Each structure stands twice: as C-alpha cells, then as structure tokens.
Amino acid sequence: MTALRSYLFVAWLYGWMAICGILYLPTLVLPRKVAQRAIRLYAQIIRVGLKLICNIETEIRGREHLPEGPYIYAGKHHCMLDIFIPFIVCDDPAIIMKQELLFYPFLGWYALKTHMIPIDRAGTAKTLKKMVASAKDRAGKGRTVVIFPEGTRTAPYSAPAYQPAGISAINKALELPVVPVATNAGLCWRGRGTRRTPGKIIYEILPAIPAGLDRKALMPRLETALETASNRLLEEGAAVQKEKLG
C-alpha cells in the first residue's frame, strides 16, 4: 500500500506542478511577487497531497524566531520538500539552488522569474564570488537568502558534511542574522527515489544566530544547532512513524 500511495503522490507532485505552471504562466510577465505567491500555493498543495495520499503530516514550528527584515535561512537538507518550505515560511525568499534546475520545465521558468540564485556546485572561486554578489543584491532588496549549508541532500542519521565556504562567505558579506532550520523530513521523504513513508515531517525554526560572527565562531554554532535539533526531531518523527505503521 505504501508503494502505491508513493506512486500516486509522485503523480500528484508533478501533475500539480504542470497544472500550476500552466495556470500561472501570466505571472511570468507580472511583478515578481505574484509569481512568488504562485509557488507558495504549489508548496501548500504538496503538503495537502502528503496528508491525503501518504498519511504524512507536516508541521512548521518556531515562526516566532524569524527576525524582522532580511536574514539568512540556513536549512538542514533531506529532500525536495525542503526547497518549497521557505516559500511558506518567508515573505520573499531567494534560494541558492543548483543551476541544472533552471533547465526543468516550469520549475526553471519560475526560478528565473523570481530571481533565485543558481550556482554551479562544481564551480571555482569565481562561482563563489558571483553567488555572494547575487545574495548581496537580493538581501539589499529586503529578501531572505536561503542556503543549505551541507550543499546537497543528506540522509537522516548520516554523518554531517557541511560545506562552510558558501555560508561563511554570505554571512560575512551580508552581515545578517543566520536562522537555522532543522528537519526530520528524510524519515518520510527520501532524498532519492519515490518512496514516501507515513509519519510526521517537522520543520523547526531555531533562534537566530547574531550577525557579524566570523567563520570560526559561526560554523560550530550553526552545525550544533542544526544537528542537535534535527536529531531530536528524528526521534520524535520515528515515534510517530512507528505508531502510524503499527
């Protein structure tokens, strides 16, 4: 049954991506924030599909920790869902994303329209410099810059492998608070493959790390916050999953 539900959800996920992508094509010639709202609607549709089809609840905690004005959203990265949650949490996110996504139908079109920050993950110092310049531009317009400090999806319980260059460079250039966002999403939504396992996905927004910290002070604090909270959420999620699976 779980396998069937998983395949049905994949159809829901990409079917609604096509439907929303076509219905909201006019937003591509309207102000950028109109397209942002279209993506936010799609993110909520994903949550509905998870609940109705896969018996997966989603919860977002800690909104009271969001600062006023722009900030750096630093999220734990387990799966595709992680890149849509900022559209629900933040007013105007600018996500640092791999540039290959720009070639995807619908996803790439709206990423370009909403001025996301595409990067070549195998890039050089020039790539890092360009990313920082783009992040500074977006933050200067009052937007939240979203980055996943591990650089790629990681499986639950795996050893953390943070890539400090990107987050440290952006932190130094922007001088904005860094908001860690923990999750246990990988318990229900694997980073790769189609399987979706019943349970509860939780995103927890943690207290902001003050602006102005250097790399040596920032990284241990960020990693400790993300790993400690995510491990706690994994324990909570595992208990819910055990109950739902009987």
Domains recognised in the chain with CATH numbers: 2-245 (3.40.1130.10)
- 164-177 residue pLDDT tens: 999 999 999 999 99
φ, ψ dihedrals at 156, nearest 5°: -55, 145
> What is the structure's pLDDT at 245?
84
Q: What is the pLDDT of residue 83?
A: 95
Interatomic CA distance for residues 244 and 241, integer angstroms: 5
Residue 162 · residue 19 · CB < 8 Å: no
Write down the pLDDT at residue 123: 67
Which residues of the chain fall below pLDDT 70? 122-123
Residue type, 205: I
Q: CA dihedral defined by 175, 181, 182, 187, rounded to 10 degrees? A: -130
